């Protein structure tokens, strides 16, 4: 496969879907929201956006399967899969907070080949392909060069349905509040990872995510020169239950805090 060509086509598809979501937000009301689980909200916008993506991506790489949040595809998992979150940050979208994104990746097994995250509020398209670097609106991006945790800005996501590790998480927040420039909770893991990739955050950690939340963002971080692992320091961050992404410069200090608490 020509990954650069696939990346360019994916960028166009993701951008078109982002424009659809932005248009739908103009007249969106809470009447269009349903609940698929504890604090797991969904609307017709999520579903229709995913259908747009699945239809277009089916033509782009016909041999690929699908791993999607809203289960709109009848094609199951294969060796090669599109991993799709049509609207990452649905709760933000519903409440009119301008941080939500489209996140799509193509993976072969656990190896991510191509990825794109479109942050709709700022109209920023983050993209990457394996060994092709990471980009934002056509400009190369790189992780921060900061090496001191005390000078770092961190991102996280609050648990919203899995509260089993809440105590460890709260203690980790306390540790990082006292040893960094601060913590931010954007409400979209895909955006958090994109912001690590472009140097706005030095690090990001969260548990209880799914592959569609992180797949594209993981490739962005990797291609931008960053580091990825799970809370145990291992490589099970794509289909596992936890993720740590950072600029490599603060990796040891960040992992020391996380591993001490979890």
| Structural contact between residues 255 and 228, judged by C-beta atoms closer than 8 angstroms | no
Give the model's confidence band at 36: pLDDT under 50 very low, under 70 low, under 90 confident, else very high. low
Q: Average pLDDT for residues 186-212, to the nearest whole number?
A: 97
CATH of 149-261, picked from 3.30.70.270, 3.40.190.80, 3.30.1360.70, 3.40.630.10, is 3.40.190.80
Token pair belonging to 9? 């086509």
pTM (two decimals): 0.95
pLDDT at residue 162 is higher than 80? no
The pLDDT tens digits for 78-132 are 999 999 999 999 999 999 999 999 999 999 999 999 999 999 999 999 999 999 9
pLDDT at residue 37 is higher than 60? no
**Mean pLDDT over all residues of the chain?**
94
Give the model's confidence band at 255: pLDDT under 50 very low, under 70 low, under 90 confident, else very high. very high
pLDDT at residue 231 is higher than 70? yes
Give the model's confidence band at 33: pLDDT under 50 very low, under 70 low, under 90 confident, else very high. confident
The pLDDT tens digits for 44-58 are 899 999 999 999 999
The pLDDT tens digits for 56-67 are 999 999 999 999
| Residues 60, 54: Cα–Cα separation, whole Å | 10
- Please give the angle made by the CA atoms of 242, 248 and 249, to the nearest 5 degrees: 130
pLDDT at residue 39 is higher than 60? no
Give the model's confidence band at 3: pLDDT under 50 very low, under 70 low, under 90 confident, else very high. very high
SS (H, E, C) the chain: CCHHHHHHHHHHHHHHHHHHHHHHHCCCCHHHEEECCCCCEEEHHHHHHHHHHHHHHHHHCCCCEEEECCCCCCCCCCCEEEEEEEEECHHHHHHCCCCCEEEEEEEECCEEEEEEEEECCCCEEEEEECCCCEEECCEEECCCCCCCHHHCEEEECCCCCCCCCHHHHHHHHHHHHCCCCEEECCCCHHHHHHHHHCCCCCEEEEECCCHHHHHHHHHHHHHCCCEEECCCCCCCCCCCCEEEEECCCCHHHHHHHHHHHC
Answer with the residue of higher pLDDT: 123 or 76.
123
pLDDT at residue 192 is higher than 90? yes
Q: Considering only the top CATH level, what class is 3-140?
A: alpha beta
261 CB-near residues (< 8 Å, 6+ apart): 168, 169, 171, 172, 175
Give the model's confidence band at 40: pLDDT under 50 very low, under 70 low, under 90 confident, else very high. low
| Residues 86, 14: Cα–Cα separation, whole Å | 9
pLDDT at residue 29 is higher than 90? no
Domain layout of the chain by residue ranges: 3-140, 149-261
């Amino acid at each position: 496969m020509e990954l650069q060509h696939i990346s360019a086509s994916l960028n166009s598809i993701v951008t078109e879907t982002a424009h659809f979501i932005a248009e739908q937000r103009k007249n969106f009301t809470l009447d269009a929201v349903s609940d698929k689980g504890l604090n797991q909200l969904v609307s017709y916008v999520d579903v229709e956006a995913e259908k747009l993506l699945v239809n277009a991506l089916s033509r782009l790489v016909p041999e690929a399967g699908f791993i999607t949040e809203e289960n709109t595809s009848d094609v199951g998992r294969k060796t090669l899969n599109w991993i799709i979150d049509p609207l990452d940050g649905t709760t933000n979208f519903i409440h009119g907070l301008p941080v939500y994104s489209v996140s799509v990746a193509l993976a072969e097994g656990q190896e991510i080949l191509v990825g794109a995250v479109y942050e709709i509020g700022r109209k920023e398209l983050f993209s990457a392909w394996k060994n092709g670097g990471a980009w934002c609106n056509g400009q190369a991006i790189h992780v921060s060069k900061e090496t001191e945790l005390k000078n770092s800005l961190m991102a996280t996501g609050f648990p919203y349905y899995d509260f089993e590790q809440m105590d460890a998480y709260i203690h980790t927040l306390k540790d990082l509040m006292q040893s960094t420039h601060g913590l931010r909770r954007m409400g979209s893991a895909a955006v958090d990872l994109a912001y690590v990739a472009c140097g706005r955050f030095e690090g990001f950690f969260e548990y209880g995510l799914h592959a569609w939340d992180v797949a594209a963002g993981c490739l962005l971080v990797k291609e931008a020169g960053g580091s990825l692992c799970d809370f145990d320091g291992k490589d099970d961050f794509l289909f596992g239950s936890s993720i740590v992404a950072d600029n490599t410069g603060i990796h040891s200090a960040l992992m020391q805090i996380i591993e001490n608490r979890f």
